[in-house]
A and B are shown apart, each in its own frame.
Chain A
Amino acid sequence: MLDILFFGTLIVYFLAVVAHFLALAFRKEQIIRAAWAVFYAGFALNTVFIIARGVTAGRLPLSNQFEFATAFAWCIALMAIVLHRGVREPWIGALTSAAAFLILSFAALQPRKISELMPALRSAWFGFHIGSAVFSYSAFMIAACISLRYLLLQKSATEEEERLSSLDYLSYRLTAFGFLMLTLTILSGCIWAEQAWSAFWTWDPKETWALITWLIYAAYLHLRLQKKWRGKRMAVFSLIGIVCVLFTFIGVNVLFTGLHSYK
């Protein structure tokens, strides 16, 4: 049953990607609405899957790569839907549904077995620490999607300045939100690590890369707020940031072993 729900979500997200790109190609209101309807359906299925898995496991389903990636895709969809209510841009759906689909595809490659929560993870900080990481990564992902769109648009000389500026601002706001969430992730992780492993910080590869990501986004925000960097340079910075986020999420677990290797 859980597998049917999971692969159902994956297929519906894929259909949403196709529908959104069709909507971009034909620019017809009906297709745009249909694409969003499919995306909503994917999000609903994703939500049901997460709840069902949580109920089956008897805990928050956030304990391994598979569960994190499923929550990550869900959160991207959630933020995209919230954003869609205020910003009517068809490409937001195209890029974010593609991001959610790719992240869920990565989840599909991971072992899906439900396992007992290891003692180190049985803590009140579990949901807060990992939940804030999910929100942080999702915000950075959507900010990067918007930055990508910015870079594609700014090549066209006809694009109006106000629209570009609005995209730039939106990307910055999401990055700021993601940064706050990442800070919460790191700090809650420190407090939790002190309880579980006796040290606030151990330079474990996951911790180190979370810090590297934090420093990169800190530089982004400083350059924007202090040096008044805007536009193309910030968009490129945002893309560098998301590469770092994805490396922290996937690369570290694949390439290194450490205290966060919950395999």
Chain B
Amino acid sequence: MKKTLTFLRSMRFGLLLLLPVLVCSVLGSIVPQGEAESYYASVFPGSYHLILGLGLDHVFRTWVFLALTALFGVNLLLCSISQYRAVPAKKTAAVFKALRAEDREPLTAEQRNALEISLKRRFWQKEEGETGTVYTSPAWTWYGSVITHFAIFGILLGAAGIFGMSRTADYEIMPGENRLPGNVSIRLDDFKVRDDSGRIDYVSTLEITDASGRSSGVREIRVNKPLRFGSNKYYQQTYGAAGTVHVSVKATGEETTLFMREPGMISAGGKDGVWYDNVYPGYVIDEAGNITVIPQTSGEYADPVYYFIRIENGVMTPMMAFPGDRVEVSDAVYTFSEPVHYPGIRVKTTPVWIYALLYLSFAALIAGLYLCFFASVASVSVEDGGWSAAGKGSEEELRQRINAFMGKGI
């Protein structure tokens, strides 16, 4: 049992675990993640069976990767506990080693004075022993490695919390529309793809009302500026353009405006009509007069062009239209207008303790690393004529640090 625990907390085990984690990470960066099976079949025709079979299409969610990460977490936790328990002994050993050192660095009275002032200024604790004076770095400096390891464990725990408890849902909302995700209502007042200064920005003006009727008030969300309300966070995630098609039925005089976000049949009588395919943000016309559509853009749809299929008496005719164009099919007139931009709002629910744990762990990691690499962790025995130090780092490192305390350069 003891041997197993020793192995589980060892650095060797940690490094052994990191190797397959690295391999998985490399594979996960080479193979695009989370695509449809047909994508892998077309991009990796020779090896897509292997990719799908081994789960390389979602490598960071495979049980192998999750198990490796969990084991790494165990390794970190055990290692952190073991290091925490070893700190007092390390500190005592450093004090004794510094006091009993036979080879001492030479020290003039002036240098001794400078060193002692410097150590006191750094809050090193002074102890007078029988064999001399010893200064020890502050207690917290000895815990750098422990803090670092616990912080990484905290981050892994937070990541596990997000994996298991965080929920996201995406909603496409048209301006003026009211959507109800769960028992919350989102009313979108406005959506803009440019801010007031004319720069591209995606700004949704919305109001959220929770189940108890509490309102967020009218608020703006944009990229980098989500809204936290209740236990949810609302993000300006994506945007799109809905084709606007006005249908006028001649026989009845009935008129309807449709906002088309997806392909679909628009028909007055159920048989003839137009099969709406898409609206594209722009197009280019080459010298021969051929039109090529621009499939994607950032910002608004500057020169929108509609693509649709006219269906009449079983005859299908692919067509393009620009805003303002009218198409007459049987007894209805279909008028294409400027598309309407709408946002994709992401609603995320994550327990607050996960945020707290992650932010605390982030701060602890930075503090821990600083202590590990930049704080002096040692005991220095100071006597007339010489000093000696013991602690973290090699003799050379300690010598350089103590010399730096006395104002000597490296």
A contact residues around B199 at 8 Å (CB):
116
**In this assembly, does A11 line the interface, its C-beta being within 8 Å of a C-beta of chain B?**
no
Which interface residue of A87, A177, A179, A208 has the most chain B CB atoms within 10 A? A208
Q: Does the CB pair B410–A86 fall under 8 Å? A: yes
Contacts of A212 in B (CB 8 A): 22, 25-26
Question: Would A200 and B162 be within 8 Å (CB), given that A86-B410, A180-B366 are in contact?
Answer: yes
B224–A122 touching, CB < 8 Å: yes
Beta-carbon contact of B397 and A169 below 8 Å:
yes
- What's the minimum C-beta distance from A101 to chain B, rounded to whole angstroms? 27
Tell me which residues across on chain B come within 8 A of A184, comparing CB atoms. Answer: 366
Residues of B within 8 Å of A203, CB to CB, are: 28-29, 33, 60
Residue contact B29 to A183, C-beta cutoff 8 Å: no
- Which residue of A is nearest B373, CB measured? A176
User: Is A191 in contact with chain B by the CB < 8 A criterion?
Assistant: yes
Contact A179 B358 (CB under 8 A): no
Is A261 part of the contact surface with B, judged by Cβ < 8 Å? no
Interface string of A171-214 (1 = CB under 8 A from B): 00100110110011001001110011110110101001101100
State whether the Cβ of B291 lies closer than 8 Å to any Cβ in chain A. Answer: no
Contact flag A179-B369 (CB < 8 Å), given A119-B202, A198-B233: yes
User: Would you call B320 an interface residue if the criterion is a C-beta within 8 Å of the partner chain's C-beta atoms?
Assistant: no
Assuming the contacts A198-B348, A222-B15, asked whether A86 and B224 have C-beta atoms less than 8 A apart, the reply is: no
Complex CA distance for A225 and B202, rounded to whole angstroms: 49
Contact B373 A177 (CB under 8 A): yes
B184 within 8 Å of A by Cβ?
no
Contact status B409-A86, CB under 8 Å = yes
- Is B126 among interface residues, defined by CB-CB distance under 8 A? no
Which residues from chain B contact A216 at a C-beta distance below 8 Å?
Answer: 22
B225 at the interface (CB under 8 A from A): yes
Q: Check B11–A226 contact: CB distance below 8 A.
A: yes
B6 to nearest A CB, angstroms?
14
Tell which of A118, A120, A180 touches B369, judged by Cβ atoms closer than 8 Å.
A180
Residue of B nearest to A251 (CB): B29
Contact of A116 (CB < 8 Å), options: B200, B202, B397, B410: B200
Contact B224–A256 (Cβ < 8 Å): no
User: For residue A219, which residue of chain B has the nearest CB?
Assistant: B15
- Contact of A209 with B224 in the complex, beta carbons under 8 Å: no
Cβ of B224 and Cβ of A215 under 8 Å apart? Answer: no
Residue pair A211, B200 in contact (C-beta under 8 Å): no
If A118-B200, A119-B200, A215-B22 touch, does A195 touch B224 (CB 8 Å cutoff)? yes
Chain B interfacial residues counted at CB < 8 A: 49
Known contacts A119-B201, A179-B373, A198-B233; is A208 also within 8 Å of B366 by CB?
no
Within 8 A of A (CB), among B260-309: 298
B159-203 vs A, Cβ < 8 Å mask (1 yes, 0 no): 100100000100000000000000000000000000000011110
Q: A77 within 8 Å of B by Cβ?
A: no
B237 touches A198 (CB 8 A): yes
Q: Contacts A119-B200, A165-B396, A180-B370: A191 and B25 contacting too (C-beta < 8 A)?
A: no
Residues in chain B near residue A191, CB distance under 8 A:
359, 362
Nearest chain B CB to A79 CB, angstrom units: 15
Chain B residues contacting A211 (CB-CB under 8 Å) are: 25
Indicate if B386 sits at the interface (CB-CB under 8 A). Answer: no
Q: From residue 191 to 244 of chain B, which have CB atoms closer than 8 A to chain A?
A: 199-202, 222-226, 233, 235, 237
Smallest beta-carbon distance B63→chain A, Å = 16
In chain A between 209 and 233, which residues have their CB closer than 8 angstroms to a CB of chain B? 209, 211-212, 215-216, 218-219, 221-222, 225-228, 230
Query: Is A208 a contact of B11 with CB atoms below 8 Å?
Result: no
Closest to B60 in A: A203
Contact A215 B29 (CB under 8 A): no
Residues of B within 8 A of A208 (CB): 25, 28-29
Is B326's beta carbon under 8 Å from chain A?
no
How distant is the Cα of A122 from the Cα of B346 in the complex, in angstroms?
Answer: 19
Q: A116-B200, A200-B358 are in contact. Are A123 and B224 (CB under 8 A)?
A: yes
Bound together, the chains give a CA A198 to CA B225 distance in angstroms of 10
A71 within 8 A of B: no
B18 contacts A by Cβ under 8 Å: yes
A119 pairs with B224, CB closer than 8 A: yes
Which partner residue on chain A sits nearest B234 by CB separation?
A198
Tell me whether A252 is interfacial, beta carbon within 8 Å.
yes
Specify which of B11, B366, B393 is in contact with A222 (CB 8 Å cutoff).
Answer: B11
Can you list 8 A-B contacts (CB < 8 A)? A116-B200, A120-B224, A197-B237, A198-B348, A200-B358, A215-B21, A227-B11, A256-B30
List of 7 A-B pairs having minimum Cβ-Cβ separation, nearest first: A176-B373, A119-B223, A205-B29, A208-B29, A123-B224, A198-B235, A187-B362
Residues in chain A within 8 A of chain B (CB atoms) = 86-87, 116, 118-120, 122-123, 165-166, 169, 173, 176-177, 179-180, 183-184, 187, 190-192, 195-198, 200-201, 203, 205, 208-209, 211-212, 215-216, 218-219, 221-222, 225-228, 230, 252, 256
**Chain B residues in contact with chain A, CB under 8 A?**
11, 14-15, 18, 21-22, 25-26, 28-30, 33, 60, 159, 162, 168, 199-202, 222-226, 233, 235, 237, 298, 346, 348, 358-359, 362, 365-366, 369-370, 372-374, 392-394, 396-397, 400, 409-410
Known: A195-B224, A209-B25. 14 other contacts (CB 8 A): A86-B410, A116-B199, A116-B200, A119-B223, A120-B223, A122-B224, A173-B373, A176-B372, A176-B374, A191-B359, A196-B223, A203-B60, A222-B15, A225-B392
